[in-house]
Structure 1
Amino acid sequence: MTAALRNYHARMQRVLDHIDRHLDDDLDLDALSGIAAYSKYHFHRQFTATFGLSVHRYVQLARMKRASYRLAYADAQSVTAIAMDAGYDAPDAFARAFRQRFGQSPSSFRKSPDWEPWLAAFEPLDNARSKLMQTIYTADDVTIRDVPATPVAIMEHRGDPATLGATIQRFIAWRKAAGLHPMTHPTFNVWRSERRPASPADYSVDLCVGIDKPTDANGEEVKAGEIPGGRCAVLRVVGHTHNLEPAALYLYRDWLPASGEEARDFPIYCQRLSFFPEVPEHETVAELFLPLK
Structure 2
Amino acid sequence: MDRKKIINQSIDYIIQHLDEDLSLDTIAAHFFLSKYHFSRIFKEETGESVYAFIKRCKVDQSAVDMKLNPKKAITDIGLDYGYSSSNYSTVFRKRHHTSPTIFKQSTSVHSMPVPFSPERVVQFKTAEEYDAQIELQELHDCFVIYRRFIGNYADIENNWYQFLDQNKTFMNEKTVMMERFFNDPAVTISSQCICDLCITADPDCGLDNTMWIKGGKWIVYHFNGEIQDIFETLQGIFTVWLPQSGFHMVQRYGLNRYYHIDRDTHSVVMDLCIPIS
Q: TM-score, normalised by structure 2?
A: 0.51
Instruction: Name the CA shift for 1:164/1:92 in 2 (closer, same or farther; >3 Å).
Output: farther
Deviation at 1:289, TM superposition (A): 4.0
Partner of 1:185: 134
* 1:1-293 pair list within 5 angstroms: 7-88=2-83, 90-112=84-106, 161=116, 163=118, 167=122, 174-175=126-127, 178=128, 181=131, 185=134, 195=154, 235-240=177-182, 267=226, 278-281=249-252, 283-290=253-260
Task: Extract unaligned runs of 5+ from structure 1.
Answer: 115-154, 188-193, 197-232, 249-264
Q: Which amino acid aligns with 1:287?
A: R
Shift in alpha-carbon separation, 1:159–1:52, aligned structure 2, 3 A: closer
Q: Report what 1:253 is aligned to.
A: none
Question: Contact 2:176 / 2:259 at 8 angstroms: preserved in 1?
Answer: yes
* Aligned mates of 2:261, 2:115 — CA distance in 1: 26
Look up the SS of the partner of 2:134 in the other structure: coil
1:290 match: secondary structure? strand
Specify the SS of the correspondent of 2:70: coil
Match of 2:167 in 1: none
Distance 2:92 2:194 in 1: 28
- The residue matched to 1:236 in structure 2 has which SS? strand
Counterpart secondary structure, 2:104? helix
RMSD: 4.4
Tell me the amino acid that sits aligned with residue 178 of structure 2: R
Q: Which runs of 5+ in 2 are unaligned?
A: 137-152, 156-174, 185-192, 199-223, 243-247, 263-277
Measured in 1, the distance between the counterparts of 2:114 and 2:46 equals: 32
Amino acid at match of 2:255: V
Hey, what's the Cα distance between the residues in 2 that align with 1:166 and 1:83? Answer: 30
List, as ranges, runs of 4+ consecutive aligned residues in structure 1 with deviation greater than 3 Å. Answer: 155-168, 178-182, 238-248, 265-272, 274-277
Task: Report the CA distance shift for 1:18/1:166 in structure 2 as closer, same or farther (over 3 A).
Answer: farther
**What is the distance in 2 between the residues matched to 1:46 and 1:76?**
41
Q: CA deviation at 1:49?
A: 2.2
State the structure with more CA Rg: 1
Tell me if structure 2 keeps the 8 A contact 1:98–1:104: yes
Corresponding residue pairs, total: 180
Q: Deviations over 1:69-107 (max 9, x none)?
A: 12234202210111011220x212111211122221101
What letter matches 1:279 in structure 2?
A: V
